[in-house]
Structures are given as structure tokens and as C-alpha cells.
């Protein structure tokens, strides 16, 4: 299985958790959203433990993709850290972890 990770934005904690509960109703899905109060590699890795209805993925490979993202996108990560630091209130940095094979199957089933 192959995976993809990207940081997608900053959100209020309440809004993130409401969205997460709505979207992540099943273990058979192509993506999971990770939220963290800190824009660090360790915090995103730790947030994988908080995924509700954890999909049946190779989580070692998925975490490896998060690490690879951190190694390849230093400028983007710095920008997201700045944006998170500038926000006031109870804010999270949000990342999306996707299972490429499951995502491809979802798209193919649309046609």
C-alpha cells in the first residue's frame, strides 16, 4: 500500500473534531485527518493514535510517509508553523493522510 500526507490547514479544535466524527464513520475509507496543537513531526505521529475508527492500513508505512513529508517540505512546514502561531484561540494544524490504493478505488467506483 502507498500513502500520501499533506498539511491542509488550520482549524478550530471544535470544528475539526465535528468534521472528523462526520467523515470518519467507517474503517473502510481512503483518508484520515490528523489534528495537532503543534506543527511538529512528533505531534503528527502521535495524532495517528487518536484516529477514530482506525482504518485497516499498514500504519508503519503511513507514518513513514509523514516522516518523508517532513523531510521533503521544510519550507511548507515553516509556513504552516507561522500561520498556526499567528492564530488566536483553540486552533489545530490539520493534516490529511490518504491510502492511495483505497482512494483510487473510490474514484474508479464513481464512473
The 10s digit of each residue's pLDDT in 17-75 is 888 877 777 777 889 999 999 999 999 999 999 887 788 899 999 999 999 999 999 99
Q: Environment class of residue 99 by beta-carbon count within 10 Å: exposed (0-12), middle (13-18) or buried (19+)?
A: buried
Q: Is 54 within a domain?
A: yes
**∠ CA 104-110-111 to the nearest 5 degrees?**
105
Q: Find the domain containing 55 and state its range.
A: 3-106
Q: Is 55 within a domain?
A: yes
- In this prediction the pTM is 0.88
What is the three-class DSSP state of 44? helix
The 10s digit of each residue's pLDDT in 85-98 is 998 889 999 999 99
Q: Is 111 within a domain?
A: no
Contact between residue 93 and residue 39 where contact means Cβ atoms under 8 Å apart: yes
Q: How many domains would you assign to the chain?
A: 1
**∠ CA 8-11-13 to the nearest 5 degrees?**
130
Amino acid at each position: 500500500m502507498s500513502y500520501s500526507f499533506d498539511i491542509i490547514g488550520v482549524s478550530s479544535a471544535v470544528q475539526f473534531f465535528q468534521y472528523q466524527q462526520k467523515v470518519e464513520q467507517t474503517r473502510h475509507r481512503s483518508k484520515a485527518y490528523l489534528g495537532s496543537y503543534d506543527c511538529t513531526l512528533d505531534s503528527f505521529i502521535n495524532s495517528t493514535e487518536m484516529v477514530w475508527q482506525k482504518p485497516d492500513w499498514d500504519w508503519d508505512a503511513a507514518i513513514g510517509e509523514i516522516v518523508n513529508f517532513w523531510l521533503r517540505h521544510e519550507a511548507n512546514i515553516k509556513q504552516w508553523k507561522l500561520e498556526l502561531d499567528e492564530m488566536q484561540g483553540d486552533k489545530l494544524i490539520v493534516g490529511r493522510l490518504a491510502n492511495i490504493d483505497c482512494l483510487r478505488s473510490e474514484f474508479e467506483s464513481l464512473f
